[in-house]
């Protein structure tokens, strides 16, 4: 009753912010993301009837009570009346810094737990289950460029359709003060959220078209507008969520300058201060060099588009 699975993080091009049903994590608006091949979580789940309670270890440390409760609740959803489990999870990127660790974490946990319990499920069901743990995790189950609207997410393009790259300018690597779950619940307190949601289908459609036709100019305009609309909602929520730091703004200006000079790069920002610079493969060197030269940028992380969540060790092994 054990299995290990690996899932990529993902970066949203059209953002999920706010739920139409918080308990079920059904999103207020459709979103689009791509999986990040080089930023991933590997999770081993061992169900053991001899255990008195679940044991959860994240990045070699016992999980906080809050994180452990979220993991246990998720395992209860995968199977009611299950044996207790040992869960050992490790990320190869900093947690809680606006790089979606909950997405890869709940995708890997879902796939590993279902494999350990011998519950074969189609991808859409795994995605829907992962969604209950963390909304964006629904998008880390399928591979490539992925869309999510209702219960589950699906692939809209394979990784090699358009080899986009995410160059992340890390401005701060600590834990963010207000996590996404709390943030989603605040979205409706902003008078801008209704307008953002009402316009979401338009942005979703434009982003789909940009991907289908590999039109970088169209992609750049729509993803930057989408990210700024989400941060407009965040900043105008009650209480106000202000994730940006001076380094964030420095990167936004640098990206706009590079694009004006002909470099195919555009920005997006999650619930944190770091900036994801989405670019075409041949622009990566210039983008990394430009970010490295900015004050306030601690480091850069680079990733291309990744595949689906997968079992990496057979149930019987180790």
User: At its nearest, how many Å lie between ligand DP6 and the CB of residue 3?
Assistant: 23
Residue 136 lies near ligand DP6 (rule: CB under 6 A):
yes
User: At its nearest, how many Å lie between ligand DP6 and the CB of residue 133?
Assistant: 7
Residue 70 lies near ligand DP6 (rule: CB under 6 A):
no
Q: Determine the Cα–Cα distance for residues 208 and 14; give it in Å rounded to an integer.
A: 10
Task: Tell me whether strands 85-91 and 55-58 are parallel, antiparallel or unpaired.
Answer: parallel
Tokens 């307190």 sit at which residue? 189
Phi, psi values for residue 275, rounded to 5°: -115, 130
Residue 6 CB neighbours (<10 A):
21
- Closer residue to ligand DP6 in complex, CB, 205/314: 205
User: At its nearest, how many Å lie between ligand DP6 and the CB of residue 157?
Assistant: 17
User: At its nearest, how many Å lie between ligand DP6 and the CB of residue 103?
Assistant: 6
User: At its nearest, how many Å lie between ligand DP6 and the CB of residue 243?
Assistant: 9
Residue 16 lies near ligand DP6 (rule: CB under 6 A):
yes
Q: Which of 74, 176, 184, 196 binds ligand DP6 (CB under 6 A)?
A: 184
- Applying CB under 6 A, the span of 109-117, 180-188, 203-211, 249-257 interacting with ligand DP6 comes to 180-188
Q: Determine the Cα–Cα distance for residues 198 and 25; give it in Å rounded to an integer.
A: 19
- Applying CB under 6 A, the span of 73-81, 95-103, 242-250, 285-293 interacting with ligand DP6 comes to 95-103
Contact 169, 258 (CB under 8 A): no
Residue 102 lies near ligand DP6 (rule: CB under 6 A):
yes
3-state secondary structure of 285: helix
* Number of helical (H) and strand (E) elements in the chain, helices listed first: 9, 14
Q: Determine the Cα–Cα distance for residues 38 and 46; give it in Å rounded to an integer.
A: 25
User: At its nearest, how many Å lie between ligand DP6 and the CB of residue 152?
Assistant: 14
Q: Determine the Cα–Cα distance for residues 137 and 102; give it in Å rounded to an integer.
A: 7
Binding mask 23-42 for ligand DP6 (x = CB under 6 A): --x-----x-----------
Residues in binding contact with ligand DP6, number by CB under 6 A: 17
Q: Which of 3, 7, 9, 15 binds ligand DP6 (CB under 6 A)?
A: 15
Residue 204 lies near ligand DP6 (rule: CB under 6 A):
no
10 phi-psi bin (left φ>0, alpha ψ -120 to 50, beta other): beta
**Which residues within the stretch 264-283 sit at the binding site for ligand DP6 (CB under 6 A)?**
270-271
Q: Determine the Cα–Cα distance for residues 309 and 296; give it in Å rounded to an integer.
A: 34
Q: Which of 86, 181, 225, 310 binds ligand DP6 (CB under 6 A)?
A: 181
**Radius of gyration of the chain measured on its C-alpha atoms:** 19
User: At its nearest, how many Å lie between ligand DP6 and the CB of residue 224?
Assistant: 15
- Closer residue to ligand DP6 in complex, CB, 15/259: 15
Cβ-count burial of 60 within 10 angstroms (0-12 exposed, 13-18 middle, 19+ buried)? exposed
Instruction: Write the CA distances from 269 to 71, 99, 166, 243, integer angstroms.
Output: 26, 9, 11, 9
Site of interaction with ligand DP6 (CB under 6 A): 12, 15-17, 25, 31, 100, 102-103, 134-136, 180-181, 184, 270-271
């Amino acid at each position: 009753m054990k299995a290990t699975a690996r899932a990529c993080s993902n970066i949203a091009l059209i953002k999920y912010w706010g739920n139409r049903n918080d308990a079920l994590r059904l999103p207020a608006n459709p979103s689009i993301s791509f999986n990040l091949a080089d930023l991933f979580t590997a999770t081993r789940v061992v169900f053991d009837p001899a255990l008195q309670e679940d044991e959860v270890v994240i990045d070699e440390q016992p999980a906080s009570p809050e994180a452990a409760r979220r993991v246990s609740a998720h395992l209860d959803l995968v199977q009611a009346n299950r044996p207790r489990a040992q869960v050992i999870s490790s990320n190869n990127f900093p947690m809680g810094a606006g790089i979606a660790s909950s997405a890869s974490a709940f995708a890997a946990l879902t796939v590993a737990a279902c494999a350990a319990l011998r519950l074969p499920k189609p991808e859409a069901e795994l995605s829907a289950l992962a969604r209950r743990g963390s909304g964006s995790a629904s998008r880390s189950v399928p591979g490539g460029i992925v869309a999510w609207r209702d219960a589950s997410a699906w692939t809209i393009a394979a990784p090699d359709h358009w080899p986009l790259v995410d160059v992340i300018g890390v401005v701060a690597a600590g834990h963010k003060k207000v996590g996404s779950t709390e943030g989603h619940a605040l979205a409706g307190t902003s008078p801008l959220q209704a307008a953002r949601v009402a316009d979401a289908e338009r942005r979703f459609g434009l982003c789909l078209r940009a991907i289908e036709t590999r039109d970088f100019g169209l992609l750049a305009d729509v993803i930057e507008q989408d990210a700024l609309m989400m941060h407009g909602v965040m900043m105008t929520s009650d209480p106000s969520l202000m994730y940006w730091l001076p380094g964030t703004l420095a990167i936004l200006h640098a990206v706009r300058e590079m694009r004006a000079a002909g470099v195919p790069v555009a920005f997006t920002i999650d619930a944190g201060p770091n900036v994801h610079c989405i670019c075409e493969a041949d622009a990566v060197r210039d983008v990394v060099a430009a970010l490295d030269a900015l004050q306030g940028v601690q480091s850069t992380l680079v990733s291309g588009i990744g595949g689906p969540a997968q079992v990496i060790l057979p149930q019987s092994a180790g």
